[in-house]
Chain A
Amino acid sequence: MANLSVNVAGVDFKNPVIPASGVFGYGREYEELFHLSKLGGIATKGTTIAERPGNLSPRIAECPSGMINSVGLQNPGIDAFISKELPNLLIKDTVIISNIAGSTVDECVSIAEKLDSTDVHMIELNISCPNVKKGGAAFGVHCESAGAITAAVRKATKKPLIVKLSPNVTDITEIARAVEAAGADSVSLINTLLGMRIDINTGRPILKNNVGGMSGPAVFPLAVRMVWQTANAVSIPVIGMGGIDSGKAAIEMMMAGAKAVQIGAAIFTDPYAPIRIINEMNDWLNEKGISDINDIIGSVKSW
């Protein structure tokens, strides 16, 4: 049994595998299938200050080796999250990362302030949601706004702060440097890529929102590249995600420089994916005679 535990921004994870925000809700449905304590952590559904109904259906469509979605941040609001969902999560013996996704700096600050007085372990600031009309990704595509919102949320909380980055930018490393300078403790990437599918029989976009966030194995090479570039550009830890669907893909992402990984679309394909990926990572390390997962982080020997 290899050591799978990692430390991200001062927080110990028993293994590096974290279901990504959005696919996993608050874990209740997956508890029917496996113990949440087996997970390294859980990134909860993005939370806004008030309840949001989300976008109209259809909200999802298949793509070659992936999918696009446009849920539109449907969530019950921060107060309901703190009172109804967080207590149940905090007793699961896994790291709880609360994802916040406000439309304005003030909204994100208010949510962060509320979370600061809870026992949640980490905060993930989403400056990259492609599925809401205002806010969301708009913060994440310019260094100034990304830095400003990070600095404001930084002041509102002492919790370890992860900033989730958008790949829909010219140079993700510039955004990563900006949020690092503004006080982020970690960055997670990549959020989804803006995509579109059209039903050629009706001439209509499949998604009612017209466009949506693309994810799944199709985006994996792009995610590996961005994680590698970012890990080389900043000194804060990088959490890698984007199309990871196996232990080997998770290992590859960590070799690129990720200290932990998040799993999204793969959970729709296989609800046991996070557990399978943990087991496959362990098997691979044992097979290679590597006793500690930390030895492979950023270990890619670039040409």
Chain B
Amino acid sequence: MKYKKSLYPIVKKEILRKNIFSIEILCPDIASIAKAGQFVHILPDNMTLRRPISICDIDKENGIITIVFEVKQEGTQRIANKNKGETLDVLGPLGHGFTLLPDAKKVVLIGGGIGNPPMLPLAKYYSNKATVISGFRNAECVILQNEFKNTGAESILCTDDGTAGRKTLVTEPLKELLANGNIDAVYACGPIPMLKFVAAIADEADVYCEVSLEERMGCGIGACLVCACKLKKEGKDVMGHVCKNGPVFSSKEVQW
């Protein structure tokens, strides 16, 4: 079976920033098969629809996955209200993850805001071959910087207002790194305008680029066709689905 659904216990919960939560879930059968870039579909109490949340950390040895998410509305609020010892109804791991390149010598990982969490498993995989560019609105929003540093990856912190790290958009450091050459791949997750610019810059430098997208979902496994996104495949316009065809796409496939 590719995915599992069960009630799994929360083993740790932290509030990282205002409205940003980190929850560690003991789910050995999911952790054992989860890959960087995949997501889990979590049912908030007394709601009809699950909420897709990307996996931020996979601890196969201890059977734990970590999700880091932002409370946006009632659904994510109900998930955030859960405490250590309580259970979450989790379906996962879902979607296909990032393409891992064992021979890559240098990659760039770009996270914008709450798009940073899915970059952590990639940073762990590539370690010192990776440069992580993390962008946030301001110092109050910065998350996961120690976690990125602990992977051995180089990290560049940017904020829109300069209250932490460099005062710049993530695209500036990306251009500098690409100008120096020898980048094998760019991976990104964040707001659509950021992804669009990242994809265009990578394309211009002729560097392979993958982006992780988000969309409102139904089933999460590819049956209901709710989470549609416009793709280009073999020169044809097609409607793909974030849950099954993604959430990770080659940036050249996406119709921005």
Q: Is the CB of B224 within 8 A of A271?
A: no
Contact of B48 among A26, A58, A67, A71 (CB under 8 A): A67
Name 21 A/B residue pairs within 8 A (Cβ), A-sorted. A22-B224, A24-B223, A25-B224, A25-B225, A28-B222, A28-B223, A29-B221, A32-B3, A32-B221, A33-B1, A57-B216, A58-B215, A59-B216, A60-B49, A66-B48, A71-B224, A74-B239, A267-B219, A268-B224, A269-B43, A271-B91
How far is B91's CA from A267's CA once the two chains are assembled, in angstroms?
12
Contact with B along A9-53 (1 / 0, CB 8 A): 000000000000011111111101100000000000100000001
A66 nearest in chain B by CB position: B48
* Chain A residues near B75 (CB-CB < 8 A): 62
Among A59, A66, A267, which residue has the most Cβ atoms of chain B within 10 A? Answer: A59
Q: Is the interface of B mostly helix, strand, loop or mixed?
A: loop
- Residues of B at under 8 Å CB distance from A? 1-3, 5, 43, 47-50, 74-75, 91, 215-219, 221-229, 237-239, 244
* Chain B residues near A67 (CB-CB < 8 A): 48-49, 218
B242 nearest in chain A by CB position: A57
- Residues of A at under 8 Å CB distance from B? 22-30, 32-33, 45, 53-63, 65-67, 69, 71, 74, 206, 216-217, 265, 267-272
Among B49, B215, B217, B219, which residue has the most Cβ atoms of chain A within 10 A? Answer: B49
Contact of B228 among A29, A57, A63 (CB under 8 A): A57
Closest approach, in angstroms, between the C-beta of A49 and any C-beta of chain B?
A: 18
How far is B239's CA from A63's CA once the two chains are assembled, in angstroms?
25
How far is B216's CA from A63's CA once the two chains are assembled, in angstroms?
13
Contact of B218 among A23, A30, A45, A217 (CB under 8 A): A23
Closest approach, in angstroms, between the C-beta of B44 and any C-beta of chain A?
A: 9
Q: Is the CB of A60 within 8 A of B217?
A: yes
A58 with B216, Cβ < 8 A, contacts A53-B239, A66-B48, A268-B50 known = yes
How far is B75's CA from A230's CA once the two chains are assembled, in angstroms?
36
How far is B222's CA from A260's CA once the two chains are assembled, in angstroms?
26
How far is B222's CA from A28's CA once the two chains are assembled, in angstroms?
9
